[in-house]
A and B are shown apart, each in its own frame.
Chain A
Amino acid sequence: MIDFSLSPAVKKNRDLIHAVADGTMRPISREYDEREHEKPTEWLNMMWEASKDMVSFGEGKQKKGADRKAEMVERHPSERTIRSAVLIEELSWGDVGLYLSIPHPALGGAAVAAAGTPEQKERFLSRFRDGEPKWGAMAITEPGCGSDSAALTTTAVQDGDQWVINGTKIFCTSGLMAAEKSEGFVVVWATLDKSAGRAGIKAFVVDHHTPGMTVAKVEDKMGIRASDTAMLVFEDCRIPLDNILGQAEVKQSTTGFKGVMATFDATRPLVAASAIGVARAAVDYVRETIEAAGITIRYTTPPTKLTTLERDFMEMEANLQAARLLTWRAAWMLDQGIQNNLEASMAKAKAGSMVTQVTQKAVELLGPLGYSRKTLLEKWMRDAKISDIYEGTQQINLLIIARRILGYSSQELN
């Protein structure tokens, strides 16, 4: 079927989260943009309590209210990613920085869920069911490599029944909260054998407060300031042998690396959904402002006869919707069990460039109102740009798309 309607269950969830975004995020949005490095503790606690039942947490939360969940899963066997995409759009409409700071297993959790053994899932994810708020994080990026993650230099060496990790990771989202401010964990990518290239790269779970792991810096950023972005230094950091995700042998094949990369097929549509939320915030705000000024958009008028404002606004709306549909398609494919590597990157590439353009255009259209910090629009523009950078930059996603459509390997096109 070709159908663009969300199920009643997803719509109901969406409306609930929208109320949360509007009622609890927007009012503190500006405050935690300006008070960078401070956390809205009360709000985080509230989200920790409330979100357990509302937001899809991956495997980690499946046992929470197991019966209820099982029932929901049965009724909607294949809506998980779509539901997440829709809810993340709402939360990011509220405030994307706050959304990113919600206590959650996040990308680290996604890696454990995707590549971990049942025992590892239980050991690392069950803690997100109760107790104090906790964070998960994923540390891939290093000072010397970002996009080219296969070039990372952090090492893991076996020493008896432990792995010893050495290296420096940067730009780790929620790294501070996961490593030092909660009983969370960080999934660290390191190489067992540099000469083996991709095949030598493995993911390791480093528990909170593990000696040898320190937060060396928390970055000052252009936007998403409510979310901490940390530099983590690993100096002879020792972790148990069974904290490796997947096989320890370095095989000739790169299936292990590909396995971890495959988590991006699941997370890219969600990052795209987040970008869509920010863009929608800007589009909504522009619409309200121009409607209040008595301007109605003449949809049926040819573009050449529209005012620039109308034309720009219609382009923003169409671009937003185009990105949303690409995102929903990628999410839907995942829910259907259809390989979505190409479509996930299309969604991410489109959403990343769309939100950048849409928010910048919105600032332009609203003139002094757009540029002023009295309203949130300028913040959304600052928040937006990250969507085109993390989880694969625009260029990296174009590379993935290009390889797919051309049938090229990463050696043939890089």
Chain B
Amino acid sequence: MLGFQPDDEQQLIRDTVAEFAREQIRPLAHDADETGLSPPSVVRQAWDLGLVQSTIPEAYGGVGAESSAVTGSLICEELAWGDLALALHILSPQLVTYPVIMLGTPEQKAQILSCYAGPHFTAGTAAVMEPRFDFDLNALTTTAEQHNGEFVLNGTKCFVPLAADATHLLVYARGDNGITAFLLPQDTPGLSIGEREKNMGLKAVATYELSLDNCRVPASSQLQGDIQPVLNRSRVALSAMAVGVARAAYEYAREYAKERRAFGTAIAQKQAIAFMLAEMATEIDAARLLVWEAAWKIDTGADATREACLAKNYAATMVLTVTDNAVQTLGGHGYIRDHPVELWLRNGRGFATFEGLAII
């Protein structure tokens, strides 16, 4: 039956993560963006929250909690509200753990999951995107050819978070039957990690280009089964993060508009500003509900591809409009890096492009 309230446990998780984002992430976001460094203390503290370990089965050292996509979307929104780059960093091991939990063979699970259930943050990552203007998940140019019981991978990937430190990389490629993915240890011959990328946003999280040059991997490294559910969880995660970034920008702009005076009143008392804020608030809620619905559908076990795609496109458009309006609300001050709104716009701009950078 219809309901719009997280249950008690979800609310507890949400509150905990929200507090962490407010107290630990947000205060460091500006410097992290300026310096291009993820503060190790935040990564360590976030690890101690147990977000990553919690959904790893007990048999592999985790907590074995149910991996609800709805709960995941609550977590993603709050972390991204704190800072998108740090949120991606903190959750990056899930780029490996989730697909393995969902699709991995017992051997793959045994081999991989326990690496991410220890007392310290361990980087894991996924290589999904490719440096092309017409990048399309359905038409990857990275290929996986089967050859004498192994696969040969060729192609170039970009936007691979923490690739240089990652224990495992999940590489997405085009196989005989469409999109497929392989678990590669860092030192796989033929896999070379390039320079750290320089992007408009997401500066605090190190991302890399990487190339696969006749990279031979055993058939046992391939993830089996339908990959769409994995992609849907990634779509929902990114959409929820877009909602978090948008909400951060909206809240900041709203408070600024109540303080800033022009022509004898607070600028929030001008309809041009007030209506913009009203639309921002409405669109954020609309996008969140679409995300929740897609997540809920995932949790019911039904195919949520359509819902996840619609939610992602909607959230990607929404976050851009909202963060842009937030900069606009601050006028010239919005353009100055002392205020965080321009950072949110730079980060928000990416969602239309991002694929596979987070998963829940």
Query: B2 near A: Cβ within 8 Å?
Result: yes
Find the B residue at minimum CB distance from A406.
B268
Asked if residues A299 and B309 are in contact (CB atoms below 8 Å), the reply is: yes
How does the 8 Å CB contact mask read for A321-336 relative to B, with 1 for contact and 0 for none?
Answer: 1110110110011000
Interface 9-residue window, one of A18-26, A117-125, A209-217, A395-403: A395-403
Contact flag A329-B305 (CB < 8 Å), given A305-B134, A398-B275: no
**A321 proximity list for chain B (CB < 8 A):** 290, 293, 310
- Check A305 against B136 for contact (C-beta < 8 Å): yes
What is the CB-to-nearest-CB distance from B72 to chain A, in angstroms, rounded to a whole number?
12
Inter-chain contact B269/A2, CB cutoff 8 Å: no
Question: Which residue from B2, B6, B135, B281 sits with its C-beta under 8 Å from A332?
Answer: B2
CA distance A79 to B1 in the complex (A): 9
Which of A4-12, A89-97, A380-388 contacts the other chain?
Answer: A4-12
**In the complex the two chains form, is B10's CB within 8 Å of A2's CB?**
yes
**Chain B residues with CB under 8 A of A304:** 134
Asked whether any CB of chain B lies closer than 8 Å to the CB of A70, the reply is no
Interface size class of A (residues with CB under 8 A): 35 or more
B257's nearest neighbour on chain A, judged by CB, is A406
Write out, one digit per residue, whether chain A residues 3-42 have a CB within 8 A of any chain B CB (1) or not (0): 1111100000000000000000000000000000000000
The yes or no answer to A74 lying at the interface (CB within 8 A) is no
A137 an interface residue at 8 Å Cβ cutoff?
no
Contact residues in A for B279 (Cβ distance below 8 Å):
349, 398
- Is the Cβ of A2 less than 8 Å from the Cβ of B313? no
Pick the contact of B352 from A82, A303, A406, A407 — CB < 8 Å? A303
Q: How far is B135's CA from A281's CA once the two chains are assembled, in angstroms?
A: 35
The binding surface of chain A is classed by DSSP as helix
Interface size on B, residues (CB 8 A): 47
A325 to B, closest residue via Cβ: B289
CA gap between A412 and B267 in the complex, in Å:
11
- The contact string, 1 if C-beta is below 8 Å from chain A, for chain B 1-37, is 1111111001000000000000000000000000000
B177 close to chain A: CB less than 8 A: no
Interface string of B237-266 (1 = CB under 8 A from A): 000000000000000001001100000000
Q: In the complex, which residues of chain A have a beta carbon less than 8 angstroms from the beta carbon of B47?
A: none
A5: which of B1, B268, B269, B309 is its contact (CB, 8 Å)?
Answer: B1
Name which residue of chain A comes closest to B258, CB basis. A406
The answer to whether A302 has its CB under 8 Å from any CB of chain B is yes
B305 partner, pick from A1, A300, A325, A343, beta carbons under 8 A: A300
Do B3 and A398 touch (CB < 8 A)? no
The answer to whether A1 and B5 have CB atoms under 8 Å apart is: yes
CB distance B311 to A318 under 8 Å? yes
Interface centre among A318, A326, A350, A405 (most CB of B within 10 A): A318
Decide yes or no whether B282 CB sits under 8 A from chain A.
yes
Q: Is B162 an interface residue (CB 8 A)?
A: no
Could you mark each residue 370-391 of chain A with 1 if its beta carbon is under 8 Å from any beta carbon of chain B, else 0?
Answer: 0000000000000000000000
User: When the two chains form their complex, are residues A326 and B286 in contact, meaning their CB atoms are under 8 A apart?
Assistant: yes
B231 proximity list for chain A (CB < 8 A): 300
Find out whether the CB atom of A322 lies under 8 angstroms from the CB atom of B289: yes
Q: A405 and B310: CB pair below 8 A?
A: no
Please indicate the chain A residues that have their CB under 8 angstroms from the CB of B135 in the complex.
Answer: 302
- Tell me, yes or no, whether B101 is within 8 Å of chain A by CB: no
Contact assessment for B6 and A2 in the assembled complex, using a CB-CB cutoff below 8 Å: yes
Pick the contact of A322: B134, B258, B287 (CB < 8 A): B287
Q: List A contacts of B274 (CB < 8 A).
A: 398-399, 402, 406, 408, 413
Cross-interface CB contact of B286 among A82, A299, A323, cutoff 8 Å:
A323
Judged by a CB distance under 8 angstroms, whether A59 is at the interface is no
A346 interface residue, CB < 8 Å from B?
yes
Taken residue by residue from 291 to 317, chain A's Cβ proximity to chain B (1 for < 8 Å, 0 otherwise) reads as 000000011111111000000001101
Count the A-B residue pairs with Cβ separation under 8 angstroms: how many? 137
0/1 interface trace, chain B 301-316, chain A, CB 8 Å (1 if under): 0000110011101100
Known: A3-B2, A3-B296, A325-B286. A314 touches B278 (CB 8 A): no
Are B138 and A401 in contact, CB atoms less than 8 angstroms apart?
no
> In the complex, A6 Cα to B352 Cα: how many Å?
32
Most chain A CB within 10 A, of B2, B137, B277, B293, is at B2
Q: B277 contacts A402, CB within 8 Å? A: yes
Which residue from B282, B293, B313 sits with its C-beta under 8 Å from A346? B282
Residue pair A332, B3 in contact (C-beta under 8 Å)? yes
Question: Which residues from chain B contact A6 at a C-beta distance below 8 Å?
Answer: 1-2
| In the complex, chain B residues whose CB is within 8 Å of the CB of A305 | 134, 136
Q: State the CA gap A407–B274 with chains docked (Å).
A: 11
**A350 proximity list for chain B (CB < 8 A):** 282, 286
B287-302 with Cβ < 8 A to chain A: 287, 289-290, 292-293, 295-297
User: Contacts of A5 on B, CB cut-off 8 Å?
Assistant: 1-2
* Nearest CB of A to B234, in Å: 12
Contact B278 A413 (CB under 8 A): no
Q: Output the nearest chain A residue to B292 by Cβ-Cβ distance.
A: A2
| Least CB distance, A333 to chain B, in whole angstroms | 8
- Given known A318-B311, A332-B4, A349-B278, contact A2–B70 (CB-CB < 8 A): yes
Contacts of A1 in B (CB 8 A): 1, 3, 5, 7
Is there an interface contact between A3 and B3, defined as CB atoms closer than 8 Å? Answer: yes
| Any A CB within 8 A of the CB of B213 | no
B275, B295, B296, B305: the one contacting A299 at CB < 8 Å is B305
B136 touches A2 (CB 8 A): no
Please give, as numbers and ranges, the residues of chain B lying within 8 Å of A4 by CB-CB distance: 2, 292-293, 296-297
Q: Which residues of A contact B165 (CB under 8 A)?
A: none
For B1, the chain A residues whose CB sits under 8 A away are 1, 3, 5-7, 79
List CB contacts (< 8 Å) of A108-139 with chain B. Answer: none
* Interface membership of B285, Cβ < 8 A: yes
Q: Are B278 and A329 in contact (CB under 8 A)?
A: no
B282 x A7 contact (CB < 8 A): no
Most chain A CB neighbours (cut-off 10 Å) among B135, B277, B279, B286: B286
**Which residues does chain A contribute within 8 Å of B136, judged by CB atoms?**
301-302, 305
Please name all residues of chain B whose beta carbon is closer than 8 Å to the beta carbon of A298 when the two chains form the complex.
138
Which of B4, B7, B228 has the largest count of A CB atoms less than 10 A from its CB? B4
CB within 8 Å of A: which residues of B? Answer: 1-7, 10, 70, 134-138, 228, 231, 254, 257-258, 268-269, 271, 274-275, 277-279, 281-282, 285-287, 289-290, 292-293, 295-297, 305-306, 309-311, 313-314, 352
Q: Offer 16 A-B interface pairs, CB within 8 angstroms, sorted by A.
A: A2-B295, A3-B1, A4-B293, A6-B1, A79-B1, A82-B2, A298-B138, A300-B231, A315-B313, A318-B310, A318-B311, A343-B285, A346-B282, A398-B279, A405-B278, A406-B274
Beyond A2-B6, A4-B296, A302-B137, 20 additional pairs, beta carbon < 8 A: A2-B5, A2-B7, A3-B296, A4-B292, A6-B2, A7-B2, A299-B306, A304-B134, A315-B313, A318-B310, A325-B289, A325-B293, A326-B289, A349-B278, A349-B282, A350-B282, A401-B278, A401-B281, A401-B282, A402-B277
